[in-house]
Structure 1
Amino acid sequence: MKSKTLGDTDEITVIGVDIGKETFHLVGFDHAGERVLRKKIKRLALKATFEKLPRCVVGMEACMSAHFVSRMLRELGFEPRIIPAIYVKPFNKGQKNDYNDAEAIAEAAMRPNLRTVAEKSQDQLDLQALHRVRSRLVARRTATINQIRAFLIEQGITVRAGRHALQSSFEAILENRRAEISPRMRTTLLGLYGDWLWVDERIKAISSEIEEIGRSEENSANIMTIPGIGPLISTAIVAAIGQGDVFDRGRDFAAWVGLVPRQFSTGGRTILGRISKRGNGYLRMLLVQAANVILMRPHRWDALGFEPWLRGAVDRMPHNKAAVALANKLARTAWSVLHYGSTYEPNRNKPLGAI
């Protein structure tokens, strides 16, 4: 099929954009589903190109710079839709290339009931970046500690589990085991220990910045009124979903985080398996950690308003399953706090399962 040129694109109703590092590929369809645009442009020419196009729906896959492109197109009067990659894949036809990807994105964008990704503001992206940097640094610190332990074990030296146990005894080990550790190995260990301390300081600085944002940002402060949720989780939720407008109810948010059972239902039979683990794995991990902290303090369940439901859940479920169930409730409560702009108020006469 011969595509029309940019001068003949007045009938465009939807455009699919395949976002690349340097180039963008555009494929547009008219109201009849006929392809009327097929064009490759440089990233710097994106705004100038779209200024010449009729205002329409513009679909793009959720990826780096998608939110930036979405905000720019919205300012120009377009209707951008950021689509999860998993929803675009069924529309791919033929071999994989940039034009086929853009065409699949355009066809997915035409679906009326397709669930899209909420457009993030610059503040949300900044906050999300802080969390990602902190997560990477924590992983780097863990890797450094594990390497120090491995080198010590090779010298026949073992230290009890825990980061603080190794940190408090490291210098004493190097001093007391001087005869067992070669000078070169000692230098290597001291270098790794220096890396550890530097990463620790970076983690503390970023954590302090996140805590300050959590206290000053209204939505984060409201979420922090929920038991077990501090600045790290509250800011992570705000960075991920803003005010939660993309979800119709709290259980949809919990499902997006991946805290609901995976379904294998057919023939009228409902078969539920393990949790789906879809969506934001970082946020899911934080919520499960918060639930485990609450489970460790049963004497406080009544004061927090968790006693009726949580006591029954613990009695009939294994510990990990109860922790995931509580994390699900925390996620639903957080969405409710965001959606209604309120704070958490425990109601001891109302079971948590009714939230």
Structure 2
Amino acid sequence: MEQLFVGLDVSKEETAICVRTQSGMVKSAFKKPTDPDTIYRALMCELEHIQCVVLETGRMANWLYSELSQRGLPIVCIDARQAHAVLSQMHNKTDKNDAAMLAELARTGFYKRIEVKSRVSQERRALLRAREVAIKSRLNVENTIRGLLASFGIRLPKYLKTYDQRVRKALEGQTDLMRIILPLLHLRTEALRQAAALTKDMMRQARMDETCHRLMTIPGIGAVSAVTYIATIDTPDRFAQSRSVGAYIGLTSRKYQSGDVDYSGRISRRGDQMLRTVLYEAANSLLCRVKSGPGQHLKDWAIAIKKRTSHKKAVVALARKLAVIMHAIWKDGTEFEPREA
């Protein structure tokens, strides 16, 4: 029997499945509930002939990929941007047609394979994302309180230590406003408490991870940067060369060349935004706050770029260099070795 290729168009409730033969003919097309066991049973009778099962990245892709891989299906997760470029060529957008085109990609091999992160890395990223949401919630509430009070001409006093004390002092004698603002103040307190608990959990994981300890020997890299880097990259063997990490997280400039036109643009901003932001903050801290020490040669290198271009470009270049150094240290099992400036 000829080889078979399967496309899965995954949605929250149902998954459209299309099975193509090696000659490109559609052998079967149907829908099943988005459940690994149900999908596996639907394909089990053809398992020995299935060469490739393709699904695109999405909210449920990591979970479905892991579950189907454990059941022995030769599954591949592909870049959703590339899949969208192909699927958008169809006149009629349906789940059935999407699954058929994904099966065609599996048959032709015209796809970019995506490395799916391990369960540990996914859990760490969930922790980091939850911590980020808690911190942003606190900032959002503070800005809302400040804006509401300003609309009534009320300014927060500066001589009190805590934000809570300043708000309560400003609300003295404002009975109606107090009923509106105090619930927001309680919401801020709870956000602070949850952010602290999530930060404590993250710090515990950083202390228990030997790789985090080695990455934190790099000036400017703290627990947040180290944990975010490890959770995003997952394994250093993904990249043959350390310098490829900079392109992976979108810190390299775009390139456009056509005929006589050839220029480099701004950074691509592709890849993981959370890691890119964390590395930018670490580089900015190293450039502006870290005093003379082990990382002085890195700081001097970035300062030289700053003199030629701008502060932001120097920080981006330093962030890219930090990403490369972190990968090399992780892969080699070494620690940061300072050099004389």
Q: Given the two structures, how large is their TM-score scaled by the length of structure 2? A: 0.89
The one of 49, 56, 61 aligned to 2:42: 49
SS at match of 2:314: helix
| Compared CA separation, residues 69 and 319, structure 1 to 2 (3 A) | same
Matching residue within 315, 319, 329 for 2:321: 329
Which residue does the alignment assign to 1:88?
Answer: 83
TM-aligned CA deviation for residue 71 of structure 1: 1.9
Q: Aligned partner of 1:11: which letter?
A: E
**1:342 and 2:339 are equivalent in the alignment:** no
Matched, 1:292 2:284: yes
Cα pair distance change 1:337/1:114, threshold 3 Å: farther
Alignment of 1:227-246 (within 5 A): 227-246=219-238
Structure 2: state its 5+ residue gaps. none
1:159 to 1:230, Cα distance in 2 relative to 1, 3 A: same
Q: SS where residue 265 of structure 1 aligns?
A: strand
User: Is residue 169 of structure 2 the alignment partner of residue 175 of structure 1?
Assistant: yes
CA distance in 2, matches of 1:43, 1:121: 21
Contact 1:214/1:220, CA 8 A, preserved across alignment? yes
Could you tell me how far 1:343 is from its partner in structure 2?
2.8
Which residue is 1:145 aligned to?
A: 142
Q: What's the secondary structure of 1:258's corresponding residue?
A: coil
Note the alpha carbon deviations across 1:50-90, whole angstroms, 9 max, x for none: 33222421111111221222222222333221112101012
1:300-315 to 2 correspondences below 5 Å: 300=292, 303-307=295-299, 309-315=301-307
**Cα distance change, pair 155–247 in 1 and its aligned pair in 2 (3 A):** same
Q: In 2, distance between residues paired with 1:165 and 1:289?
A: 30
1:112-152 deviation per Cα after TM superposition (whole angstroms, max 9, x unaligned): 47432212221111111111111211221111011100111
- Amino acid corresponding to residue 285 of structure 1 in structure 2: T
Q: How many residue pairs align between the two structures?
A: 335
Tell me how far apart the structure 2 counterparts of residues 228 and 221 of structure 1 sit (CA, whole Å).
13
Identity within the alignment, %: 26
Distance 1:239 1:303 in 2: 24
CA-CA distance at 1:34 after TM superposition: 2.6
Give 1:100's aligned amino acid. N
Q: Does 1:79 align with 2:74?
A: yes
Task: Give the counterpart letter for 1:77 in structure 2.
Answer: G
Provide the residue aligned with 1:62 in structure 2. Answer: 57
**How has the CA–CA distance of structure 1 residues 297 and 210 changed in structure 2, closer, same or farther, with 3 Å as cutoff?**
same
1:100 match: 97
Match of 2:212 in 1: 220
2:154 is equivalent to residue 157 of structure 1: yes
Distance 1:169 1:37, change over 3 A: closer
Other-structure match for 2:201: 209
Q: Structure 1 unaligned runs (5+)?
A: 1-9, 350-355
- Counterpart mapping for 1:245-256 below 5 A: 245-256=237-248
Distance 1:40 1:74 in 2: 20
Structure 2 CA distance, aligned partners of 1:133 and 1:166? 30
For 2:148, the aligned partner's letter is F
Say which SS state the counterpart of residue 15 (structure 2) adopts. strand
The structural deviation recorded for 1:317 is: 2.1
User: SS of the counterpart of 2:145?
Assistant: helix
Matched, 1:128 2:128: no
* Secondary structure in structure 1 of the residue aligned to 2:243: helix
Distance of 1:247 and 1:207 partners within structure 2:
29
Amino acid at match of 1:196: R
- 2:134 corresponds to which letter in structure 1? L
Q: Is the 8 A contact 1:87 1:108 kept in 2?
A: no
Equivalents in 1 of 2:146, 2:75: separation in Å?
A: 50
**Contact persistence 1:220–1:234 (CA under 8 A):** yes
How many Å separate the matches in 1 of 2:333 and 2:171?
A: 59
CA 1:297–1:138 in 2, change beyond 3 Å: closer, same or farther? closer
Secondary structure of 2:162's counterpart equals helix
2:24 corresponds to: 33
The corresponding residue for 1:352 is none
Cα offset for 1:267?
Answer: 1.4
Counterpart in the other structure of 2:251 = 259
Letter in 2 for 1:168: T
Q: Does the 8 Å contact 1:91/1:107 carry over to 2?
A: no
**Does the 8 Å contact 2:294/2:338 carry over to 1?**
no
CA distance in 2, matches of 1:211, 1:302: 23
Q: Tell me if structure 2 keeps the 8 A contact 1:83–1:109.
A: no
